Amino acid sequence: MNEPAGTPESQPTVLQSALRGLACKCPRCGEGKLYAGFLTLAPSCDVCGLDYAFIDAGDGPAIFIIMLAGAIVVGCALVVEVKYQPPYWLHAVLWLPLILATTLLPLRSMKSLLIALQFHHKAAPGRLVDRAK
């Protein structure tokens, strides 16, 4: 039951898979929940029964979020520092909430987006080919 059902025409497009991922839904049916907790995956889809054991998002979602959040926060902090030169305590008051908002809020959606794209492209671990033959 782990293989997608139907013909290739019934397979979702990359856009549909990405939207399913952003919605934190099952990458196969788009209806079941992907998570049991904030970032804890459910064991399987409660609608279509897809086993989520294949999922391995690794550190990818965190790296994407760190890079995006870092660019946003550092850019904003530099503009505020150059333009207004506030005291350091004001920098902490301004940027700590922004750091939390730009890292924690999109992390769940980014993880499920990468999971959905992994499923769509049938990504698997790399294997070395025995070339001695």
pLDDT tens sequence across 77-122: 999 999 999 999 999 999 999 999 999 999 999 999 999 999 999 9
**Roughly how many angstroms between the first and final C-alpha of the chain, as a whole number?**
36
Between the CA atoms of 12, 24, 1 and 36, what dihedral angle is there, to the nearest 10 degrees? Answer: 180
Q: Write down the pLDDT at residue 57.
A: 87
**How many C-alpha atoms does 20 have within 13 Å on its Cβ side?**
23
Q: What is the model's pLDDT at position 132?
A: 67
Q: How far apart are CA 112 and CA 20, in angstroms?
A: 8
Domain residue spans of the chain: 8-120
